[in-house]
Amino acid sequence: MLKFWNSLHRKQELFKPLHDQRVGLYTCGPTVYHPATIGNLRSYLFEDVLKRVLIFFGYTVTHVMNITDVGHLVSDADEGEDKIEREAKKSGKDAWALARENEALFLADLKKLNIIPANILPRATEHIQEQIDLIKILEEKGYTYRTSDGIYFDTSKFPSYGRLSGQKLEEKKAGARVAQNDEKKQASDFALWKFSPKKAKRQMEWESPWGVGFPGWHIECSAMSVNYLGQPFDIHCGGIDHLTVHHENEIAQSEAAFEKPLANYWMHNDFLLVDGKRMGKSEGNAYTLDEVIAKGFDPLAYRLFCLGAQYRSKLNFTWDGLEAAQHTLEKLREEARRLSDGVEPSETFLSAFKSALEDDLNSPVALAVVWDLLKSDESASVKGATLSYMDTVLGLGLGELVGKRVQAPANIVLLAKERASAREAKDWKRADALRVEIERAGWNIEDKNRGEFDLVPKRKI
C-alpha cells in the first residue's frame, strides 16, 4: 500500500484518495521569467515519478500545473518588482512575449527529461477573473484590508495559520523571506491584489473592483486548483522552498474562502545543491538543462542522477556525479538491448520494486532492485518484460530498447577495430582520437576484455 510523507502532519501516512481510483494532483509550476534551472527541474522530476507511481498502482490522475506569468514579485514579502516585468525591462522584450518564450523553453525541458505533461496547464494571466472572484469572497468574509499598494489577507483572522510550517503566527517575524512593511498588520500578511504604480504603467495590468493592478502570487494557485480540481483535492506538491510562505498562504486563503481543506496530502522535494552550495545566479551555478546538454550529457542522465536520491533528501550535484550517471544510463541501455520481449514479468522482482515505491517513492532502492533483476538468473524474456514494466515509473526509455540491439555501420566498426589495435599497441593518443571520432558519429564504444568492444548508439536529443 502506498505511503507518502505528508508535510501537513509531518509524518508518513497511508495514501487514501478521495474518489476510489481517481487522484487530483496539483503541482506548483514555473515562474516564466527565465529558463528553468536544473534545481527547478528536480521538483518536476519528483512530481513526474509520483504521477507515474500513482498510474503504476492503478490510479487515474488528473494533473494540474500552473504557469506563473504574472504576479510573482522579487520578494516573497510582496515587495519589489514583478519578476517578469523586471526581466522584460532588462532585456528590452515585451513581458508577454518573454513569458511565452520561457514557457516554451520549460515545456521543451520537460520533454527532454521524459516528463509526462500535465493534463491541464493554466496560465495565471488567463484566470484573472477567477482570482478576482476569490478575493471578493475573502473580502465579504472579512479576511482582507486595504493598504496604499494593494489588498492584503489578514492572517490574524485565520487561527490555524502556520499549520503547514509548524510555526505559530506570533513566531512568524519579519526576516529574510518576509520583510517588514509598516502598512501590514502582521509581517505574515500577504497581497491578494497589487495596485499598479502611479508613476509607471505596467505591461500586465487589469481592472478590478479595487483599482487597476495585478494579482498577488499566491492567489493564482488557490483560484486555479479549485477551478479544475475542486476543494479538497488529493495531493499538492512543490519544492521545499514553497512550504513556509507560498503553500502556507494558499492554505489560508483557500480554507478561509471555502471552509474546507485545500488538499489532503502535501508533498515537497528538498533542494538540489551544487558542489555542496545552494544554487543561485550569484554563485554562478544556476545551470540550465541546455548547459548540461552542451557539455555532452544526455538529459536522461540527469533524470537518473535525481532518481539516485530519495526526493525528500538534499541532492548534491557535481559534474563527476552526472558523468557517473551517464555511464550508468549507457550500461542500462545496453543491458536492455541484450534482453528480449516477454509477456510475463517476474513477480518476485516486481514485488520488491513495488515495496520500494510504496515506501514514500524510495527511488534509490527501486533502482537497486533493477540491478538485482539484471544480475539474476531469470530468462532474457522475463527480464525484458520486468524491466519494461519498471521503466514505466523510471521513465528512462529502457522499455522501448528491450530486444532492439542495433548493428553499427561498417565504417564505425572499422574505426572501432582500428582503435582496438591502437590500444593494443599502447598508442593512447591515436586511440583517444578514434574514440572521439566514433562518438561524434553518434556511437559510444564500450571496451570489454582482450580487445573486444560493444558499439552502442547515442540517444538523439
Best CA proximity match to 101, nearest among 89, 110, 114, 88 = 88
Best CA proximity match to 206, nearest among 197, 195, 217, 198 = 195
Count other C-beta atoms under 10 Å from residue 455's C-beta: 18
Helix (H) / strand (E) containing 24? strand 22-27
Best CA proximity match to 203, nearest among 80, 123, 75, 98 = 98
267-34-109-297 Cα dihedral, nearest 10 degrees: -110
Distance from the first to the final alpha carbon of the chain: 37
Amino acid at 360: D
Q: What is the value of pTM for the model shown?
A: 0.89
User: What cell numbers appear for 453 in the block?
Assistant: 568492444
pLDDT of amino acid 413: 87
How much of the chain is in helix, strand and coil states, percent to nearest 5? 45, 20, 35
Confidence of residue 375 (pLDDT cuts 50, 70, 90): very high
Name the average pLDDT for the chain: 93
Confidence of residue 175 (pLDDT cuts 50, 70, 90): very low
pLDDT of amino acid 180: 57
Measured N-to-C along each axis, helices 299-307 and 363-375 cross at an angle, to the nearest 10 degrees, of: 100
- Is residue 272 classed exposed, middle or buried when 0-12, 13-18 and 19+ CB atoms within 10 A define those classes? buried
Confidence of residue 181 (pLDDT cuts 50, 70, 90): confident
Count other C-beta atoms under 10 Å from residue 156's C-beta: 14
For residues 205-227, average pLDDT: 97
Contact status, residue 151 vs residue 215, Cβ threshold 8 Å: no
More confident residue, 353 or 405: 353
Contact status, residue 267 vs residue 26, Cβ threshold 8 Å: no
| Residue with the three cell numbers 545543491 | 273
Contact status, residue 18 vs residue 232, Cβ threshold 8 Å: yes
Q: What percent of the chain has pLDDT over 70?
A: 96
Q: Distance (Å, rounded) from C-alpha 306 to C-alpha 378? A: 28
Q: Lowest-confidence range among 138-142, 337-341, 360-364?
A: 337-341
446-449-450-454 Cα dihedral, nearest 10 degrees: -30
Given a cut of 70, whether residue 178 has pLDDT beyond it is no
User: What cell numbers appear for 434 in the block?
Assistant: 578514434
Contact status, residue 250 vs residue 219, Cβ threshold 8 Å: no
Rg of the chain over Cα atoms, rounded to whole angstroms, equals 25
pLDDT in tens, 9-62: 999 999 999 999 999 999 999 999 999 999 999 999 999 999 999 999 999 999
Q: Lowest-confidence range among 86-95, 172-181, 371-380, 415-424?
A: 172-181
Q: Distance (Å, rounded) from C-alpha 328 to C-alpha 302? A: 11
For residues 364-381, average pLDDT: 97
Given a cut of 60, whether residue 461 has pLDDT beyond it is no
Q: How far is CA 118 from each of CA 27, 62, 214, 236, 311, rounded to the nearest angstrom?
A: 9, 8, 26, 13, 20
Helix (H) / strand (E) containing 250? helix 246-258
Best CA proximity match to 269, nearest among 317, 314, 311 = 311
Best CA proximity match to 195, nearest among 147, 158, 233, 153 = 147
More confident residue, 79 or 347: 347
Q: Distance (Å, rounded) from C-alpha 212 to C-alpha 205? A: 6
Could you give phi then psi for residue 226, rounded to 5 degrees? -70, -30
Q: Distance (Å, rounded) from C-alpha 440 to C-alpha 415? A: 12
Q: Lowest-confidence range among 88-102, 160-174, 272-286, 293-307?
A: 160-174
pLDDT in tens, 248-305: 999 999 999 999 999 999 999 999 999 999 988 778 899 999 999 999 999 999 999 9
Q: Distance (Å, rounded) from C-alpha 24 to C-alpha 422? A: 59
Given a cut of 70, whether residue 176 has pLDDT beyond it is no
User: What cell numbers appear for 335 in the block?
Assistant: 543491458
pLDDT in tens, 418-457: 999 999 888 999 999 999 999 898 888 888 777 788 787 7
| Residue with the three cell numbers 576484455 | 449
More confident residue, 12 or 415: 12
